[in-house]
Structure 1
Amino acid sequence: VLAKVRYDKLDTVTGDRKLMVSSLVINWIVGPAVMFALAWIFLPDLPEYRTGLIIVGLARCIAMVIIWNDLACGDREAAAVLVALNSVFQVFAFGLLGWFYLDLLPRWMNLGDGQGLDVSVWHIALNVVIFLGIPLLAGFLTRRIGEQKMGRSNYEAKFLPKIGPWALYGLLFTIVILFALQGKTITSQPLDVVRIALPLLVYFAIMFFGTFLLGKGLGLAYDRTTTLAFTAAG
């Protein structure tokens, strides 16, 4: 998917202040707060699951969202920029937000003693490099070399259609593997799976459709509105 991005047009995305500011506010203020509320509403008696759910709300998606965005005909360049922005922000803000939502805020609201989050900044950075940095570099080099060898028109008309489906195949394969690895847990604790899935579904609906309406209200085009919504819900 990242081989489809026109990297020479990224400056048109970074210059869109409505898009950039909206993304930061939604992803790092609204999103974590919504997930915190849903975690306590749906899982008040299951602290381990509740903590996991809150962490999911803090860890923005940096890989699959690019594929979902491409399937929905979103703005590829905007997706690359917003995912990269969220990734950098995640490296520096994850630990602080984890402390706030898992330790400080629960004690302020008399929801319990709270708990710490022992996550290394370097561990987060390593994951960002593996799941975003390497694919981003590969996509950039593929386009750069491909355009030099074939020209932009042939690269986009002949080469991209051949490699495009492999992104979807990879996504489906990843989903199958993830469920297969947790198959025993899923089948042995179906009620727990349902209880965890419900707040996730509500979260996705609130974040995706709410952000989509916000994008329309701000006057963003469909492609950038879609990208904003997927990066918010991911």
Structure 2
Amino acid sequence: MKTRQQTGISFFQKYLTVWVLLCMAAGILIGHFIPVVPEALERMEIAGISIPIAILIWIMIYPMMIKVDFQSVKEVGKNPKGLFLTWIVNWAIKPFTMYGLASLFLFGVFKNFISPDLATQYLAGAVLLGAAPCTAMVFVWSTLVNGNPAYTVVQVATNDLIILIAFVPIVKFLLGVSNVSVPYSTLFVSIFLFVVIPLAGGAITRVAVIICGICRVKSIDDRI
């Protein structure tokens, strides 16, 4: 008798595209009909960083950071081709492609609908988004295609480490080309808040859980 294979994808994950589109629509409607909401959110900033967004990002990526096993980095040398491809796409192609496409549409296709100042701001947002590789959702995509969980962890871990070195120079370079002034302090604070803190918290939590688990097992063994 054949047993039904479990995909491991929840209802929420299965229809993730739908939820994203609904959230985008809700955000647009709220911003248009209830402008007091975005105005209130804009006031909740420290050093140019939105506190509500920071909290939501922490909630999203903290569970992923707990799954990162830094010992697995030692296994990179056994099959590095996938990692090299990921690094090249994430850091040598994607940021510049995002910059090119955003410039094409914002200053070309939609130039009659968007003011130059607003287009420049949108371009800055696109660059910030394009220069940062996906982290938390990588595990979902890997599960959807039945990928190798251990290899996925290595990809995420190495990209998180590369972010600390490559993100700021790439963003600064691309935004400098567009004459958009973004201070280094804001970029470093963003990296610290959205990568370093969750990464450190996840690592500490992982170690604590492992230690507690070992202690609990030893306690059970002693009783037996």
Question: TM-score, with normalisation over the residues of structure 2?
Answer: 0.52
Q: Is the 8 A contact 1:66 1:79 kept in 2?
A: yes
Cα gap change, 1:99 to 1:26, in 2 (>3 Å): same
Q: Which of these residues, 102, 117, 120, is aligned with residue 39 of structure 1?
A: 102
2:131 matched to which residue of 1? Answer: 58
Work out whether residues 131 and 171 of structure 2, in 8 Å CA contact, stay in contact via their aligned partners in 1: yes
Q: Are 1:118 and 2:183 matched, yes or no? A: yes
The verdict on how the C-alpha distance between 1:130 and 1:5 changes in structure 2, with shifts beyond 3 A counting, is closer
SS at match of 2:134: coil
In structure 1, give the amino acid aligned to 2:200. Answer: G
Shift of 1:5: 6.7
- Tell me how far apart the structure 2 counterparts of residues 15 and 124 of structure 1 sit (CA, whole Å): 30
Of 121, 124, 128, 1:48 maps to 121
> Aligned match of 1:134 in 193, 201, 208?
201
Match of 1:111 in 2: none
Tell me which structure has the larger Cα radius of gyration: 2
Matched residue, 1:177: none
State the number of aligned residues: 143
| Partner amino acid, structure 2, of 1:98 | V
Kindly report which structure 2 residues correspond to 1:66-215, keeping only aligned pairs within 5 A, or say none. 66-104=139-177, 106=178, 114-120=179-185, 121-143=188-210, 145-146=212-213, 149=216
Q: Deviations over 1:208-229 (max 9, x none)?
A: xxxxxxxxxxxxxxxxxxxxxx
Q: Which of 15, 18, 21 is 2:84 aligned to? A: 21
Q: Give a deviation string over 1:124-177, Cα, whole Å, max 9, x none.
A: 1332123333224434543564467459xxxxxxxxxxxxxxxxxxxxxxxxxx
Q: Which amino acid in structure 1 is aligned with residue 91 of structure 2?
A: W
Deviation at 1:71, TM superposition (A): 4.5
**Which letter maps to 1:19?**
G
Q: CA separation of 1:4/1:117 partners in 2, compared to 1, >3 Å: closer, same or farther?
A: closer
How far apart in 1 are the matches of 2:204 and 2:143?
18
Contact preservation (8 Å) 2:99, 2:127: yes
**Contact 1:13/1:77, CA 8 A, preserved across alignment:** no
Unaligned residue ranges in structure 1 (runs of 5+): 107-113, 152-234
Instruction: State the one-letter code of the partner of 1:89.
Output: I
Which secondary structure state, in structure 2, belongs to the residue aligned with residue 43 of structure 1? helix
- What is the rounded CA distance, in whole Å, between the counterparts of 1:94 and 1:4 in structure 2? 23
Please give the secondary structure, in 1, of the residue aligned with 2:133: coil
- Report the counterpart of residue 199 of structure 1 in structure 2: none
Unaligned runs of 5+ in 2: 1-62, 112-118, 219-224
| Counterparts in 2 of 1:148 and 1:8: CA distance versus 1, 3 Å | farther
Distance 1:99 1:53, change over 3 A: same
Q: CA deviation at 1:83?
A: 1.7
1:67 & 1:139 partners in 2: Cα distance? Answer: 20
Closer, same or farther: CA 66–143 of 1 in aligned 2, 3 Å: farther
Write the distance in 1 (CA, Å) between the matches of 2:96 and 2:77.
Answer: 26
Q: Identity of aligned pairs, percent?
A: 27
